Amino acid sequence: MTSAEISRRTILSASGAAALVGLLGACGTNTGRGGGGQTIEQWYHAYGEPGVQQAVERYAKAYDKATVNVQWNPGDYDSKLSAGLLAGGVPDVFEASLEISAVRSGQVVPLDDVIGSAKDDFTATILAGHTVDGQVYGIPQAVDMQMLFYRKSMFDKAGVHPPTGVDELIDAAKRLTTGGVKGLFAGNDGGVAVLGGPSLWSVGLDYVTPEHEVGFDEPEAAFAISKLRELYASGAVLQGAVKDWAEPDAFTQGLVAMQWTGLWTVPAVQKALGDDFGVLPWPRLDGAGRPSVPVGAFGAMVNAKSQHVEEAKAFVKWLWIDRTDFQEDFNLSYGFHIPPRQSLAAKADKLTKGAASDAVRFVRDNAKSSNPPDWIPSMKTAFGDAVSRVVREGADPGTELKAAVQKARDELKRLYG
Amino acid sequence: MRRADTRAFWLFVGPFALGLLAFVYVPIGWSVLLSFFDARNTVTPTDFVGLANYVDMLSDGPFLRSLGTFSLFALFIVPLTFVLSLGLALLVNGITVMQAFFRSVFFLPAACSYVVASLVWKLSIFNGVRYGLANTVLGWFGVDPVAWIGSTDPPWYWLVLVTLRLWLQVGFYLILFLAGLQRIPKHLYEAAWIDGAKPGWQTLRHITLPQLRTTSVAVLLLNLIAAYQAFDEFYNVMGSAQGYPPFARPPLVYLYYTSLGSGGQDFGHGGAGAVLLALVIVAVTLLQGKVILR
């Protein structure tokens, strides 16, 4: 329903096993140091990959200016975090996507002095996702992105080329649908949740413009969404898979020839299919559009109600700006992320080959923010509802989008006046 | 003596009343209070907006649609549950052997968690791929796999949701009906038979049903409230990490996404919606009570 928010949470919420593993280590870890007498509470959501928890605890222990308590939060991290921020001063430091409402209600502090001159080293699209009214509120930790995976052998057999346009993609999906294999899998909702954004970008539009106007109040938006309907109605899209789009199972089990999923699945896909797959951005639809990949990153933030704002900021600067060795380790040693700092991404061996190097190139050339701070939940709901009604129920795209535009316009007016 | 009684009263009732006050009444009062404020990302708002949140919710398409959908859902699920659980209760009450066994068997699903049942329905019985249980059965007859939860035309997801709810709740209401049936004095039936009434429809219509009236009213009311409060199985079957589709969306799920779901935090509108939903439930319940107890 809402635009895809890419983070490791997505996978986790689909993976009970990972949550269970997380549960075993659910308790906060006191690093047992006297330090400078201050204690900083730092919260993470439970990453699915083994080793991340131990790694972040190791980083915390290495900090000598204060004691840092790492709390690992399996389960519904979002709700727990919002309750914590509402209630008061715990946590001091946490990871999250930035929402403009958190800035407007004074829950987070600006970190411009923390990021300092390192600002230019961060990928611009990623940093924009942590910037409101020109101020930076989160230091990006690790980049996640989504893209289109395709099975080379199936394409060869059907004599289909990797699509460079949306119409080609629909045609390919149809031709690849044969005997128990569907052309494309993009989620059990038929791609409604994850393909809304890429569709807007495919005709050169966006959720919200830099001038804080509604970005999809154009007839082309309706045309772009009608293409998703065309794809859905063609019968070439898989629905009702056991695992949703965030996991590669439908693709690796050969149920589909293409799947829209995330960078994080690359190791699993490689293991299952070897070299028999390639990756693509979502193609463009018309001359105004460009191929696109949605990107997002959790950022390290400081709670404005914290009793130790300055100490917390110093810790964030130390971990997420100064200690590039830890940032590299965090991004590359466990799961499969792209470091948000270009200087680190450039020298990462793991990202120079195959699908990973394509992904790095897409992030450089085709990145679109999957979750801009002022694309707020009520707008996402209105837009997602409209896309869902068009794609899954065949409603008129013009009429449906008009209602979403109205809602988004009201909210933007409230936010920016 | 009297003094000791009072102390005992507070000793036993106190902790419970305190818990009720702290975790039920205060939050209810607080959310009513919040509904008159612009309360985004705060539970101690300062920006009084009067009835603006109510006006917004009453002109809010998705919220009104969800109320409409669930009035329809109630119209459908309440009689269905009523008839099924009453029918089963009559059958179980009628048998003389293994009554306890059947009673337990029918009641067992009520002990199952909604979340667990939702996952079983979603992932194994009604998944959309060819090896799902329902699709395997269809496969024997040469029918193509159906995307039970994904497809909107026809809306198969209702089949999934309704069968799930029936499986979970029929057993519970069956027990209520059984208790009601066993309280009907035997001599009423004996008197009727002596007067020439035939066992079966005639006694059911003129003795059993009238005697069950209080039980029936309770079952109908509980059922109706449960229909409007639908959340668990809908959230777990239809929802995904990306959110919830605009169809089959219960009012509570919509309010959850407005005020609590990932980053929504709009307690003003959420509170107003909750109050409106409560008013609807009260109104419908009173109306229903009036019609039945006429």
Residue B228 belongs to domain with CATH number: 1.10.3720.10
Question: What is d(CA B106, CA B102) in angstroms, rounded to the nearest whole number?
Answer: 6
A165 and A117 housed in the same domain: no
In a domain? residue B191? yes
pLDDT at B23: 92
In a domain? residue B40? no
Determine whether the interchain pair B245/A104 forms a contact, defined as Cβ–Cβ distance below 8 Å: no
A86 and A216 housed in the same domain: no
Chain B environment of A192 (Cβ under 8 Å): 245
pLDDT at B246: 84
Q: What's the pLDDT tens digit per position in A314-337?
A: 999 999 999 999 999 999 888 788
Task: Find the distance separating the first CA and the last CA of chain A, reported in whole Å.
Answer: 27
Determine whether the interchain pair B150/A102 forms a contact, defined as Cβ–Cβ distance below 8 Å: no
Question: Given A79, A187, A190, which is nearest B260 (Cβ)?
Answer: A79
pLDDT at A332: 87
Chain B environment of A378 (Cβ under 8 Å): 258, 264, 266
User: Could you tell me if A84 and A43 are in contact, meaning their C-beta atoms sit under 8 angstroms apart?
Assistant: yes
Those residues with Cβ within 8 angstroms of residue A291's Cβ, 6 or more apart along the chain or in another chain: A164, A202, A280, A281, A282, A283, A284, A362, A366
A204 and A351 housed in the same domain: no
- Tell me if chain B has a CB within 8 Å of the CB of A38: no
The residues in A 172-211 lying below 8 A from B, measured between CB atoms, are: 180, 187-190, 192-194
Q: What's the pLDDT tens digit per position in B148-170?
A: 887 777 888 899 999 999 999 99
Please say if the pLDDT value at position A27 is more than 70.
no
Determine whether the interchain pair B240/A380 forms a contact, defined as Cβ–Cβ distance below 8 Å: no
Determine whether the interchain pair B130/A180 forms a contact, defined as Cβ–Cβ distance below 8 Å: yes
Determine whether the interchain pair A393/B245 forms a contact, defined as Cβ–Cβ distance below 8 Å: no
Determine whether the interchain pair B263/A107 forms a contact, defined as Cβ–Cβ distance below 8 Å: no
A17 and A52 housed in the same domain: yes
In a domain? residue A201? yes
The whole domain housing A231 covers: 146-293+374-416
pLDDT at A37: 63
Chain A environment of B62 (Cβ under 8 Å): 381-382, 385
In a domain? residue B205? yes
User: Could you tell me if A357 and A351 are in contact, meaning their C-beta atoms sit under 8 angstroms apart?
Assistant: yes
Nearest CA distance, B128 vs chain A (angstrom): 4
pLDDT at A28: 44
Q: What's the pLDDT tens digit per position in A28-80?
A: 444 444 444 689 999 999 988 888 999 999 999 999 999 999 999 988 888 88
Determine whether the interchain pair A255/B129 forms a contact, defined as Cβ–Cβ distance below 8 Å: yes
Q: Mean pLDDT over residues A338-364, rounded?
A: 88
How many residues comprise chain A?
417
Nearest CA distance, A266 vs chain B (angstrom): 20
In a domain? residue A185? yes
Q: Assign B125 to helix, strand or coil.
A: helix
* pLDDT range class, residue B33, cuts 50, 70, 90: very high
Most B CBs within 10 A among A9, A192, A232, A391, hence the mutation to make, goes to: A192
Q: What's the pLDDT tens digit per position in B67-78?
A: 988 888 888 899
Determine whether the interchain pair B263/A242 forms a contact, defined as Cβ–Cβ distance below 8 Å: no
Burial category of B65 from C-beta neighbours within 10 Å (exposed 0-12, middle 13-18, buried 19 and up): middle
Question: Given A2, A82, A389, which is nearest B243 (Cβ)?
Answer: A2
In a domain? residue B78? yes
A112 and A58 housed in the same domain: yes
Chain B environment of A393 (Cβ under 8 Å): 152-153, 247
ipTM: 0.75
* pLDDT range class, residue B123, cuts 50, 70, 90: confident
Domain count, chain B: 1
Please say if the pLDDT value at position A118 is more than 80.
yes
The residues in A 84-113 lying below 8 A from B, measured between CB atoms, are: 85-86, 97, 99, 101-102, 104-105, 107
Question: Given B42, B243, B263, which is nearest A384 (Cβ)?
Answer: B243
Q: Residue A121's domain is classified under what CATH number?
A: 3.40.190.10
pLDDT at A32: 43
User: Could you tell me if B38 and B268 are in contact, meaning their C-beta atoms sit under 8 angstroms apart?
Assistant: yes
In a domain? residue A2? no
A286 and A343 housed in the same domain: no
pLDDT at A26: 40
Please say if the pLDDT value at position B62 is more than 90.
no
A315 and A387 housed in the same domain: no
Task: Report which of A188, A164, A179 is spatially closest to residue A237, judged by C-alpha positions.
Answer: A188
Q: Mean pLDDT over residues A348-371, rounded?
A: 89
- Tell me if chain B has a CB within 8 Å of the CB of A302: no
In a domain? residue A274? yes
CB atoms within 10 A of CB B169: 20
Question: Which residue in chain B is spatially nearest to A190 when comparing CA positions?
Answer: B150
Nearest CA distance, B124 vs chain A (angstrom): 8
A383 and A334 housed in the same domain: no
* pLDDT range class, residue B294, cuts 50, 70, 90: low
Chain A environment of B241 (Cβ under 8 Å): 9-10, 13-14, 244, 246
The residues in A 352-411 lying below 8 A from B, measured between CB atoms, are: 376-378, 380-382, 384-385, 388-389, 392-394, 403
The whole domain housing B179 covers: 61-292
Q: Mean pLDDT over residues A368-395, rounded?
A: 90
Domain count, chain A: 2
Q: What's the pLDDT tens digit per position in B125-134?
A: 988 777 788 9
pLDDT at B1: 55
Report phi then psi at A159, rounded to 5.
65, 40
A68 and A159 housed in the same domain: no
Which of A354, A369, A384 finishes a domain? A369
Strands A93-96 and A293-302: antiparallel
In a domain? residue A86? yes
A380 and A288 housed in the same domain: yes
Determine whether the interchain pair B41/A86 forms a contact, defined as Cβ–Cβ distance below 8 Å: yes
Determine whether the interchain pair A241/B128 forms a contact, defined as Cβ–Cβ distance below 8 Å: yes
Residue A124 tokens, joined: 């611009």
Nearest CA distance, A280 vs chain B (angstrom): 22
Q: Mean pLDDT over residues A17-31, rounded?
A: 40
Q: What's the pLDDT tens digit per position in B2-24?
A: 778 889 999 999 999 999 999 99
Determine whether the interchain pair A101/B241 forms a contact, defined as Cβ–Cβ distance below 8 Å: no
User: Could you tell me if A280 and A286 are in contact, meaning their C-beta atoms sit under 8 angstroms apart?
Assistant: no
**Runs of H (alpha helix) within chain B:** 2-20, 26-34, 52-58, 61-94, 99-107, 114-119, 133-140, 157-183, 186-194, 201-203, 209-211, 213-228, 232-238, 251-259, 267-292
Please say if the pLDDT value at position A25 is more than 50.
no
CB pairs under 8 A between A and B: 122
A152 and A301 housed in the same domain: no
- Tell me if chain B has a CB within 8 Å of the CB of A4: yes
How many residues comprise chain B?
294
Q: Where is mean pLDDT largest: A293-307, B219-233, B261-275?
A: A293-307
Nearest CA distance, A349 vs chain B (angstrom): 32
Question: What is d(CA A238, CA A226) in angstroms, rounded to the nearest whole number?
Answer: 18
Determine whether the interchain pair B246/A238 forms a contact, defined as Cβ–Cβ distance below 8 Å: no
In a domain? residue A392? yes
Determine if the peptide bond prior to B246 is cis (ω within 30°).
no
* pLDDT range class, residue A180, cuts 50, 70, 90: confident
Average pLDDT over all residues of chain B: 87
